[in-house]
Structure 1
Amino acid sequence: MYTCSYQRYSFVLEALDSNQGSILFAAGPWIYPDGSLVFVLNQNVFGSIGFNVTMIDDGNKSYTKSFTLEVMNVNQPPTFLLQSPEILVFPFSYPQYFSGFMQDLSAGPNEGFQKISFTLTMLDPNAPFAIFGYPSYNSSDRSLSFCTLHSLVAQEARLQVTMLDDGGNFTYAFPGGVLSPSSDLSRQIVTFKFLSTAPFAFDSLTMNLLYADLAPRARYGHAVTFYQYSVWIVGGFLAQTSPTSTDSSFSSDVWRVRLQTCSAPGGLCLQPEQVTAQAVWTSRYNHAVVTHRAALVVLGGQAEGGRSLNDVWTSSDGEAWTQITSSAAWSKRFGLAAVSVLAYDSEGKQEHLLVLGGANFVGGGVEYHQDVWVSQDGLSWRELPAPWQARAHHGVAVTNVNCTQRVWLAGGQGAWGGLNDVWVADLSSRGEVTWTAVSESAGWSRRWGHALVAFKDHLVLVGGRLEDLMISREVWVSANGSSWQQWSPPAGFAQVTQFGAAVSNGTELLMFGGRSFNEVVNTFWVTE
């Protein structure tokens, strides 16, 4: 009670929305004797609330006024995390795609209504990125993609990532005018580290046998790919563990193999790690695995009982797998090939997943496929023309020259035996393909079950089964797919077919397993 003249009076403050009051205020509000309104706000909240203020004197007379209290938003800076503050760029680089590179995006506390955007600024303008390959951000999957020119010299380039919010799309009106919350931003730096290496030299190639304390079990018909700075070995047909055992089987295991420098002879050591002994997908061999949109993707193959498959699975870690489809638009098949191509051109860029050829058992015979299928997500597929002969167990590789990726196809098994032709395809960002016949009969003999890899700007073809059913230990190298030069591997390198081969870190070609004449092996060979 307060005294004014000869009467005493008091105030009653009533919130018109008690729930809103509990949200906005940590304490109060109160009216002090001097007429001041006092309160304590909760953190990072804003909004409006109405009040009735009633003044009552001791003669029981009252007077009521209403007012609205507007708690204005003070924009907080947005926040985000990077998948990694450093990106290793390998020599003879290829277009790279990092899905989910921007993580934990927030416009600010309780500011989810705001719109956010990203800008990328290259702080080192002389960084060796191609015209269409400068780093760019895709908000749909929060990905960072880029493509570099070939650089064999060690260097660094810094990319500034700026996240900007819009401050909200509302305004505050007050007697002095109108106020809109200002936008705010936060910045982080990504450092590209370009690794160095010597240029390709045919006469300087080396091949060495590597040993591992815990090597994957001997197998053939497995699939391999390079992902997260490691070579991944997926599935295959496991050999029996002893000459008298009967434990050979189809597999769905997944291995991750890291190549690291060490003090061992040759300077390289293996670190194999079994990620899972049995993935959720059906055990299989003669399937395909690729790295697509920063994830592992398994496609098709052959399961126990001769059953062919056309399912598609994906995983970001090799252990937890998600089925994209149980039955893709392309028919069930084994001996198929698959690649991922990030196509850059003046109309844009797009990462495409391709499935090429394969075979399936039909009645008492084998049906070979002459088709190419393209997809961006592994679920929706579209068939493309294929001018080459139907085949399976062929070699497919992707080369990159200044961000122009080309798909190469070589050899394989057709309805009339082995093949030794070479084709190349150019793919646009819209998913259109143009095939060119490079050689109808290459310098190497007809074969299937071989490996074809892109290694330091060259094509390398290894092994395979020949038309006389003998198994080859040959290594052939080409810079253009037309002229081939044979390279002599060391004496210990055995004849091999249906093995796995992938390029690690852009500088080493790692080969594992496969079938020889009378055994299945689990040896690792590395070519530098």
Structure 2
Amino acid sequence: MKFFLFIILTGLSLGTYAQKNTFQWVQETKEAAWKARDSQGEFVFKGNMWILGGWYTPQLPNPRDIWKSPDGKNWTLVLDKAPWEHSDLSAAFVFKNKMWMMGGRKLPGTNCSNQVWSSKDGEKWILETPNAGWSPRLAPGFVVFKDRMWILGGASDFYKNNDKTLFNDVWSSADGKEWKLELASAPWSKRTHGKAIVFDGKIWIIGGGTRAPKANSLNDVWSSGDGVNWTLVTDSAAWAPRIWFSTLVYRNCIWVLGGWAESGNIGDVWYSKNGKDWTEFKSDIKWTKRHEHSAFVFKDKIWIAGGAAEPDYKLDSEVWSLSLPEKWFADQ
């Protein structure tokens, strides 16, 4: 009798555990060594998280500094002033054992770039081309897929989002110099501030939209096995439409974190196994609502850093992490 009672109680306990989230975000540092900012480039490279450039205010030149950290707490200045000038809403990623910076906006104003830069160490940068095949733009989607770098969509003007300034073209390159137009007009609508990721052997385009003169946020999800033929996975995900959010892949799920919409900053976190069905990840301890923060998968954790946060869109240099067990999703 006691044995059966133990089984029943254990079963109830495990069921409660599966339903109640016991995993919380951890604040690794409240104030990192780099100056508070948003819209920076970020990636993981050679055992470190990296922060590059970004945005301070519309009136100030954008930062061009480069920082790295092995633990989210201790940050080292690698370079105070990189040669690239368009570091606001640029494309930043790792490809063929190099770091890459391309596109983006130069502040003040809305001058955009289609320059492509690369570096093996973050200190010495090479201009691979001053004029890529795709037109100058900010906030495109970007991924590494099938041994090529990809640029998807974006906008040529931060303040004037319209049919002429917005893009839904798709480009790829094997070396950063020569770019191939894969698709002049994708079936997903022209957009900027959306996100692209690689998941389940496909490229995914998620959300985004327009910011000015009228904000129009999206929450659609598209996927493609070749960058040319696209499938609409859902035209309305469970999370609210948004721009300036983060996406990543962790524990074999797609994650959407934070962002901004017409109603203001967003602070929720969602995950999906297939891009269509989404579940909100809730935790009692977490970062405040924010947009244009960095997001990483590093040392088997999710990390976020910086951004324009509540209250009052204040820029910060906080760093937070979240660790989930390997078989966490199976328990959900």
TM-score, normalised to structure 1, is 0.53
2:124 alignment partner, SS class: coil
1:455 corresponds to which letter in structure 2? Y
Is residue 2:198 matched to residue 1:398?
Answer: yes
Cα distance in structure 1, aligned partners of 2:56 and 2:239? 30
Q: Bigger relative contact order, structure 1 or 2, given CA contacts below 8 A and separation 6+?
A: 2
Alignment of 1:61-76 (within 5 A): none
Matched with 1:293 is 96
Equivalent of 1:475, from 259, 265, 269? 269
Query: Cα RMSD over matched residues?
Result: 2.4
In the other structure, the counterpart of 1:373 is 171
Q: Per-residue displacement from partner, 1:153-174 (whole Å, max 9, x unpaired)?
A: xxxxxxxxxxxxxxxxxxxxxx
What percentage of residue pairs aligned between the two structures are identical?
26
Matched, 1:313 2:102: no
Contact 2:290/2:313 (<8 A) preserved: no
Q: How many residues align?
A: 296
Uncovered stretches (5+) of structure 1, i.e. residues with no partner? 1-200, 241-245, 260-268, 344-350
| 8 A contact 1:212–1:271 mirrored in 2 | no
C-alpha distance in 2 between matches for 1:364 and 1:253: 28
Report the Cα distance in structure 2 between the residues aligned to 1:441 and 1:325, rounded to whole angstroms.
38
Partner Cα distance (2:161, 2:192) in 1: 14
Letter in 1 for 2:168: Q
Q: Find the counterpart in structure 2 of residue 274 from structure 1.
A: 77
Alignment of 1:174-213 (within 5 A): 203=21, 205-211=23-29
Q: Is 1:498 the equivalent of 2:302?
A: no
Aligned to 2:217: 418
User: Normalized per residue, which structure has more strand?
Assistant: 1
Tell me by how many angstroms 1:271 deviates. Answer: 2.5
Q: Considering only CA atoms, is the larger Rg found in Structure 1 or Structure 2?
A: 1
Aligned residue number for residue 71 of structure 1: none
Structure 2: which 5+ runs fail to align? Answer: 1-18, 324-332
2:126 to 312, 322, 328: 322
Question: Corresponding residue for 1:448?
Answer: 243
Q: CA deviation at 1:321?
A: 0.3
Contact in 2 for aligned 1:239/1:520 (Cα 8 Å): no
Structure 1 distance, partners of 2:47, 2:20, is: 25
Q: Is the 8 A contact 1:311 1:328 kept in 2?
A: yes
Secondary structure, in 3 states, of the residue corresponding to 2:139? Answer: coil
For residues 503 and 519 of structure 1, the distance between their equivalents in structure 2, rounded to whole angstroms, comes to: 25
2:260 is the counterpart of 1:460:
no
TM-score for the superposition, normalised by structure 2: 0.83
* Equivalent pair of 1:474/1:489 in contact (CA under 8 Å): no
Is the CA contact 1:475–1:489 (under 8 Å) kept in the aligned structure 2?
no
1:358 aligns with 2:154: yes
> Per-residue deviation at 1:487?
1.3
Quote the Cα distance in structure 1 between the aligned partners of 2:67 and 2:169: 31
Cross-structure match for 1:335: 139
Q: 1:36-47 counterparts in 2 under 5 A? A: none
State how far apart, in whole Å, the 1-side matches of 2:316 and 2:158 are: 31
Deviation at 1:381, TM superposition (A): 0.8
Residues 1:257 and 1:363: Cα distance change in structure 2 (over 3 Å): closer
Displacement after TM superposition at 1:252 (Å): 1.1
3-state SS in 1 of match to 2:289: coil
Letter in 1 for 2:95: H
Alignment match, 1:515: 308
Q: Cα gap change, 1:362/1:220 in structure 2, threshold over 3 Å: closer, same or farther?
A: closer
Deviation at 1:283, TM superposition (A): 4.7
Q: Once the 2 structures are TM-superposed, how far is the Cα of residue 361 of structure 1 from its aligned partner?
A: 2.2
- Match in the other structure for 1:527: 322
Contact persistence 2:32–2:73 (CA under 8 A):
no
